[in-house]
Amino acid sequence: MTNDILLSPHFKLREFIASRTAEEHGIDNTPPDEAVENLRRLCEGCLEPLREALGLPVVVTSGFRTKALNSLLAHSSERSQHMLGQAADLYIGHTENTESTEKASRRELLIKAFREVLTNPKIDFDQIILYPTFIHVSFVSRERNRRGILLAQGNGKLGYGRLSLSSALQIV
Ligand SMILES: [Zn+2]
């Protein structure tokens, strides 16, 4: 299996495996086949339709994590869905030809993506967490997704607040 395989039209497996922390610690972050299948579901059911709706790059900063890698990361849960290939942390980038005057701030794009995930009928999710500078989103299966919405307080250091759909849509 090569890391160049496409999980969906805009997402390569390598984007979900790359980790500076893993490299620095000599950790082999290769996912088992089962996790690759979960990453594919995450792409097809959530990330790809999000990419399509926004027309902007969805940049994955952390996808799959082996148990060894996960335990090295501050504030990561022992039961993190990243270890199953069911979650990704992401932000929204600009296309190369975006004029500088048209460039929305990272926060504006993050809120736009957050709303899109919550309201687009083509997108499903198990849990979404809005952080100040990124979004964590997970996907299990259409049948088992819980559609939980959380707001990270103090970047997660102060815990997480549960949001209703209507209150989540009021965040600016
Ligand atoms: Zn995450």
Tens-digit pLDDT profile for residues 71-101: 999 778 889 999 999 999 999 998 888 888 7
Question: Which residues line ion ligand 1, judged by CB < 5 Å?
Answer: 89, 136
Q: Which amino acid is at 120?
A: N
Low-confidence ranges of the chain (pLDDT < 50): none
CATH class of 6-168: alpha beta
Spacing, Cα 121 to ligand 1 middle (Å): 23
Sheet with 135-138, edge to edge strand ranges: 58-62, 87-92, 135-138, 127-130, 148-152, 160-162
Spacing, Cα 170 to ligand 1 middle (Å): 23
Residue 103, CA distances (Å) to 10, 94, 149 in order: 21, 7, 27
Q: Which residue in 102, 106, 122 sits closest to 50, CA to CA?
A: 122
Start-to-end CA span in the chain (Å): 42
Classify strands 87-92 and 11-12 as parallel, antiparallel or unpaired: unpaired
Spacing, Cα 23 to ligand 1 middle (Å): 19
